[in-house]
Chain A
Amino acid sequence: MLEVRNLVKHFGGVRAVDGLDFKIKQGEVFGLIGPNGSGKSTTVNLVCGIFPPTDGEIMLGNINLGAIAPHQRVDAGVARTFQNIRLFGDLTVWQNLWVAWRDQPGQEQGWVSNWFGRSTSRRQEIQKLLEFSGLGDKADHLASNLAFGEQRRLELARAMAAKPKIILLDEPAAGMNSAEVKDLCHRVLAMKEMGMTVLLVEHVMELVMNVTDRITVLNFGRPIAQGTPLEIQNNKLVQEAYFGSSENAQGGGN
């Protein structure tokens, strides 16, 4: 599905991502973890095209994402959420989904769709997505008036509304309490059951270890380990990267 080959991104002298390879399979929940500043969010931003990579290739199936504009990547099949919630606060919950909505993958709606009154079949589908997100009764609320957890769920729903092939979740559990994290676990697993492919960038280990199939651990922009959640938990290098080893606190990345 999503394949990243030798991805490199330098900001001036900072090597945010420095030779990253991974391959995400169809229907898989793939975790990307690592200490702060290890290049996780940069990777997501590179896949979405917020800035161009210094080097390397990003392929979605046989589409070269590097060759198309950021907004076209959504129709190619990439949707995302943001580390800091970015909703359209002045729009209603329903309109937030409506803006991103695709009836079929890759088909943006016309600008004048929904001439007076909302097309009933689309209305029902959007309502279904709202119910899935636990926002069924909030359709006409302003997005900015939602509670924090609801805003997180709305952002996730907006990403799903574009009918993507893969969803990139950039620290979706940031700022959540443990009950909300549990709820998010169920939600991600439900998405997986629906056949969605997910790239999860996350610090909250409770979420990562419960939902992912495979994990890549980054440190200083380079992958230091790859494997199942269990393998990663028992990996010495990973423990060092996170906590530092007793002999050399900086040892993990070098």
Chain B
Amino acid sequence: MKASKSPGAELPLLKKPSRRAQVLGNWELYLFMLPAVLYFLIFHYAPMYGIQIAFKNFVPSRGITGSEWVGFDHFERFFNSYYFWDLIWNTFSISFYELAIGFPLPILLALAFNEVRNGKFKKTVQTVTYAPHFISVIVMAGMIITFLSPSNGMIVMLIEALGFNAPQFLTDPAWFKTMYVLSGVWQSTGWGTIIYLAALSGVDPQQHEAAIVDGASRFKRVLHINLPSILPTITIMLILNMGNILTVGYEKILLLQNSLNLESSDVISTYVYRAGLVDAQYSFSTAVGLFNSIINVILLVTVNWIARRTSENSLW
């Protein structure tokens, strides 16, 4: 890099500058923020007045502001639902199950990739594991049902060939969550490594060289150099994930759901989806969405607080 020789910098960063100086000196950073701020203002904050329909009976042709207020009716309807506690339990348990298995695996895979010499093998594994991300939910669910079909499913046949009795994967409530989570892991682990691979590329090779001189084994180096260097990313990803705990998409669940596994497969989003099927119930789904958001925010703030206490990495 070329550094200019003239000492034109107004702010030597040696001592803490005044706030005013800090703002003025970094005026360009505000310019950097400008496009993003404009974007969020226009496309996210401007429409936010729409949240009020959670407390109204929204009729499209009357408009959002013109619809009548109904207070907490929609929330009460949701809380009083026969299925409310089932929904909450299923949503939480599926999310945590998914997090427990789906979160560490990409990290492990990324660390493993990093150990392998660049070559055809590495490239192949990387590309292959990344590919399932692009399979649409419909085909994905179709494949799960085909593979697990009691009469001719591949996986069922395999289990039976090994001399075991295959469980009723598709209809036994006890198996639903496992089926959902493992297929999700299959589909997204490779894709999930990308972010960690990028973080790993920041590791300074000199650190490794020094460690080798000290006689550290490969495993030790992974543990003490690579892992710490991606720890900030891991922490941030974990916090973001916690802020999405109640957000379990409905599409895949809906396709795998049936009356027999309903008690363990029904989550908030599928419940709202069904309500909307009858007659686009915007107000009701907004109310449930708002409830979700509030829980999510609470979780995110809590986890972030813990992260800030225990490490140097946090969202704010």
Q: Are A and B a genuine interacting pair, yes or no?
A: no
Chain B residues packing against A (C-beta within 8 Å): none
Chain A residues packing against B (C-beta within 8 Å): none
